[in-house]
């Protein structure tokens, strides 16, 4: 474990930026904005590390959302994410700068980087934070993370550590409120990757299916009934959400779904985080199967449909239209 | 080839009730089960035994983890090591397991669960890889060991095949568990014949700093009570509600 040496100066809040297809991810901007709010309270600067190739221009997009200084490591060897080169660049930088607070996105990249850097530098780490603040008294992160898939939260603190890391889920700080009059500065990071190579070689995509039944393990389910109107809109919504398509038994008769996709007494019993019931009337035969769901959204044209009484969000309206609008609204932000 | 499997116990979720109104987690039946991701890891290691691998199961924790290790023995582990410890965060556990690996020697492969049922943090495998300075494969659905090292099928946007040379840390997805059972005879032997080796932290050459947890749980917090039948007027309001409840997955396809 490498110990970082600190001065008594304020040591700033850092963000490890992520890019996708040559653009900053929305989560990165949100993190910078969240860091800005904390920094204003603590008297910190917001510093962003930007790794990749041809990313120098992206720094200009970070100032309006709150960055004061952007450290750019622009190198051809950082084009695609590979763990070892990124770890090397980041830890070389951290060893010099000794950051006190660092934010990562709760993405596959943050998931791979943050624990390794936390272990390397002996930092406290809150993983998958869905609420996070800088505690000004203990000078640490306090954050919530979901327990048992969000049944309740655990409040974690990094009070014992000298440096504090967190990976943060989207929508924790909210949409950034950009200030176009802000400006900042860029610093180029020296990249020294001569004796480092990626140790994991990607061979290529393969066809594979997990052995577990899809519906039982699904985290999101879009479920359809006879009143759905347009099955394609429901399918499009499921695809946008990354959800599984399911249905009540009656939608099997309509040929909307297959036998294995039936939810209810005569089918599967599911426990997703989100269950969207489109045009399902909601008799007991069906609702028995969806009792384990953590959050139920129901859309039905009939205001007297029993499903509306059993949903956390009950909406009277045309299911196909709602599905379409919802898919649009979700893909936009 | 020596394979180390990290085993974790979690509280059986069917034995707990979360009361949002009282802001309490009621434990009706305190029973610990093997985490599904750990079962997937054990199952994978058991498959590797056919190629002549020796499987060592390890668990860090109080007395109760011994039970989990006996189940690991029943599920095919040749040896079980219990590191006695009263709590600690992933940092400490990674230090402990890494010290055991160094003491055992010649471990070529560590298999752990990717995300556990309770916290789903997935912190330990990368931390362990760091403590040993090994590469890591996270979110594996299947692995094969050949002469050149390990090939794995990893879940990303789709499934991708990757390759690494040993030694390596692999984190298995809970969804990769095929649902195999422990052999009945092995289960009997696990309790009657075989022993779980108890190691204490003093045996493992670790400093005080390595055993000091840095991330701690302060308290539990609870989401607001469910209000069934809450009317929603339009999609805009619905999106706000969904975001507040955090039920939308991260992998929503967003136009940038």
Contact across the interface for B232 and A171, Cβ inside 8 Å = no
Q: Please report residues of B whose CB lies closer than 8 A to that of A236.
A: none
Which positions in chain A touch B138 (Cβ < 8 Å)?
108, 111-112
Q: Tell whether pTM > 0.80.
A: yes
CB contact under 8 A, B164 and A200: yes
Give the range among A8-12, A256-260, B145-149, B153-157 with minimum mean pLDDT: A8-12
Residue among B121, B209, B233 minimizing CB distance to A127: B121
Task: State the burial class of residue B147 (Cβ atoms within 10 Å of its Cβ: 0-12, 13-18, 19+).
Answer: exposed
pLDDT score, position B256: 40
Give the model's pLDDT for residue A36.
94
Task: Search chain B and give the residue with CA nearest A333.
Answer: B254
Cβ-contact B94, B154 below 8 angstroms: no
Per-residue pLDDT of chain A (333 residues; tens, 9 = 90+): 666 666 666 678 999 999 988 899 999 999 999 999 999 988 889 999 999 988 889 999 999 999 999 999 998 888 888 899 999 999 999 999 889 999 999 999 999 999 999 999 999 999 999 999 998 888 899 999 988 878 889 999 999 888 999 999 988 898 889 999 999 999 999 888 888 888 888 888 988 888 777 788 888 999 999 988 889 999 999 988 888 899 999 888 888 988 888 998 888 888 888 999 999 998 888 999 888 888 999 999 999 999 999 999 999 999 999 999 999 988 875
Instruction: Give contacts of A 164-223 with B, CB under 8 A.
Output: 169-171, 199-208, 210-212, 217, 219-220
**Which chain A residues in 286-325 lie under 8 Å from chain B, judged by CB atoms?**
294-295, 297, 308-316, 322, 325
Residues B242-255 have pLDDT tens digits of 888 888 765 555 54
Contact flag A241-B173 (C-beta cutoff 8 Å): no
A83/B216 touch (CB, cutoff 8 Å), yes or no: no
Contact assignment for B254 to A116 by CB distance below 8 Å: no
> Residues B198-205: what's their mean pLDDT?
88
Chain A contacts of B245, Cβ < 8 Å? Answer: 295, 312
Inter-chain contact A119–B246, Cβ cutoff 8 Å?
no
Residues in chain B within 8 Å Cβ distance of A202: 160-163
Asked if A120 reaches chain B (Cβ–Cβ under 8 Å), the answer is yes
A153/B222 CB distance under 8 A: yes
Give the one of A123, A154, A169 whose C-beta lies nearest to B217's C-beta.
A154
**pLDDT above 70 as % of chain B:** 97
Structure tokens that stand for B1 in this block: 């080839």
Instruction: Please tell me the distance in Å from A190's CA to the nearest CA on chain B.
Output: 23
Q: What is the pLDDT of residue B156?
A: 84
pLDDT at position A197, please? 85
* Contact between residue B40 and residue B6 where contact means Cβ atoms under 8 Å apart: no
Mean pLDDT score across all residues of chain B: 89
User: Which pLDDT score is estimated for B173?
Assistant: 92
A63 CA: distance to closest CA in chain B (Å): 18
Average pLDDT over residues B24-48: 92
Residue pLDDT, tens place only, B65-75: 999 999 999 99
- pLDDT interval class at B241 (50, 70, 90): confident
What is the pLDDT at residue B253? 53
How far is it, in rounded angstroms, from Cα B32 to Cα A310? 32
pLDDT at A4: 67
Look up residue A240 and give its two tokens.
């946008």
- The answer to whether the Cβ–Cβ distance between A204 and B161 falls below 8 Å is yes
Q: What was the pLDDT predicted at B255?
A: 47
Following CA atoms A160, A125, A293, B29 in sequence, which dihedral angle do they give, to the nearest 10 degrees?
Answer: -40
User: Residue B12's closest chain A neighbor by CA?
Assistant: A148
For residue A124, list chain B residues with Cβ-Cβ distance below 8 A. 214-215
- Identify the closest residue of chain A to B164 by CA–CA distance: A200
Q: Which of A1, A124, A239 sits opposite B215 (nearest CB)?
A: A124
Closest chain B residue to A236, measured at CA: B253
Q: Nearest Cβ partner of B177 from A127, A212, A330?
A: A212
The pLDDT-based confidence of B179 (bands split at 50, 70, 90) is: confident
3-class DSSP string for chain A: CCCCCCCCCCCCEEEECCEECCEECHHHHHHHHHHHHHHHHHCCCEEEEEEECCCHHHHHHHCCCCCCEEEEEECHHHCCCCHHHHHHHHHHHHHHHCCCEEEEECCHHHHHHHHHHHHHHCCEEEEEECEEEEECCCCEEEEEEEEHHHCEEEEEECCCCCCEEEEECCCCCCCCCCCCCCCCEEEECCCCCCCCCCCCEEEEEECCCCCCCHHHHCCEEEEECHHHCCHHHHHHHHHHHCCEEEECHHHHHCCCCCHHHEECCCCECCCCCEEEEECCCCCHHHHHHHCCCCEEEEEECCCCCHHHHHCCEEEECCHHHHHHHHHHHHHHC
B90-104 and A108-121 helices, crossing angle to 10°: 70
**Range in B5-9, B31-35, B146-150, B191-195 with the lowest mean pLDDT:** B146-150
What one-character DSSP code corresponds to residue B52? T
Q: A200 vs B153: CB contact, 8 Å cut-off?
A: no
């Amino acid at each position: 474990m490498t110990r970082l040496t600190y001065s008594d100066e304020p040591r700033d809040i850092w963000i490890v930026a992520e890019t996708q297809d040559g653009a900053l991810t929305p989560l990165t901007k949100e993190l910078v904005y969240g860091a800005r709010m904390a920094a204003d309270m603590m008297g910190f600067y917001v510093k962003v590390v930007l790794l990749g190739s041809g990313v120098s221009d992206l720094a200009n997009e970070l100032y309006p959302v709150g960055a004061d200084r952007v450290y750019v490591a622009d190198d051809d060897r950082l084009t695609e994410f590979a763990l070892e080169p990124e770890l090397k660049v980041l830890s070389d930088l951290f060893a010099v700068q000794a950051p006190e607070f660092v934010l990562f996105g709760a993405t596959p990249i943050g998931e791979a980087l943050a624990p390794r850097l936390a272990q390397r530098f002996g930092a406290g780490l809150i993983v998958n934070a869905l609420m996070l603040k800088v505690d000004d008294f203990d000078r640490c992160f306090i954050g919530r993370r979901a327990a048992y898939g969000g049944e309740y939260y655990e409040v974690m603190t990094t009070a014992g550590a000298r440096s504090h890391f967190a990976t943060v889920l989207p929508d924790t700080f909210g949409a950034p409120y950009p200030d176009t009059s802000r400006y900042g500065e860029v610093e180029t990071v020296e990249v020294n990757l001569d004796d480092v190579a990626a140790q994991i070689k990607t061979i290529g995509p393969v066809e594979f299916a997990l052995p577990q039944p899809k519906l039982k393990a699904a985290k999101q389910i879009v479920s359809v009934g006879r009143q759905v109107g347009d099955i394609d809109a429901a399918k499009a919504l499921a695809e946008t959400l990354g959800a599984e398509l399911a249905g009540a038994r009656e939608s099997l008769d309509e040929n909307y779904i297959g036998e294995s996709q039936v939810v209810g007494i005569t089918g599967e019993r599911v426990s997703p985080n989100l269950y969207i019931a489109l045009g399902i009337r909601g008799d007991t035969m069906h609702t028995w199967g969806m009792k384990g769901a953590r959050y139920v959204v129901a859309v039905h044209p009939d205001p007297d449909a029993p499903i509306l009484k059993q949903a956390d969000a009950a909406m009277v309206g045309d299911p196909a239209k709602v599905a379409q609008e919802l898919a649009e609204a979700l893909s936009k932000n | 080839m020596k394979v180390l499997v990290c085993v974790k116990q979690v509280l059986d979720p069917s034995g707990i009730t979360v009361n949002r109104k009282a802001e309490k987690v009621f434990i009706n039946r305190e029973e610990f089960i093997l985490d599904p991701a750990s079962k997937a890891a054990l199952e994978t290691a058991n498959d590797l035994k056919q190629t002549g691998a020796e499987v060592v199961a390890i668990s860090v924790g109080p007395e109760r983890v011994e039970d989990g290790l006996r189940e690991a023995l029943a599920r095919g582990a040749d040896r079980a090591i219990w590191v006695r410890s009263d709590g600690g965060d992933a940092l400490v556990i990674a230090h402990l397991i890494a010290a055991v690996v160094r003491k055992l020697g010649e471990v070529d492969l560590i298999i752990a669960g990717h995300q556990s049922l309770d916290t789903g943090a997935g912190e330990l495998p990368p931390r362990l890889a760091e403590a040993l300075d090994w590469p890591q494969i996270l979110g594996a659905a299947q692995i094969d060991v050949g002469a050149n090292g390990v090939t794995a099928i990893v879940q990303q946007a789709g499934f991708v095949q990757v390759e690494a040379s040993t030694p390596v840390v692999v984190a298995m997805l809970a969804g990769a568990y095929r649902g195999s059972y422990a052999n009945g005879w092995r289960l009997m032997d696990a309790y009657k014949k075989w022993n779980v080796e108890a190691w204490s932290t003093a045996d493992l050459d670790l400093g005080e700093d390595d055993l000091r947890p840095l991330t701690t749980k302060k308290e539990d917090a609870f989401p607001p009570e469910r209000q069934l039948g809450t009317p929603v007027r339009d999609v805009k309001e619905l999106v706000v509600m969904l975001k507040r409840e955090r039920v939308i997955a991260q992998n929503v396809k967003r136009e940038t």
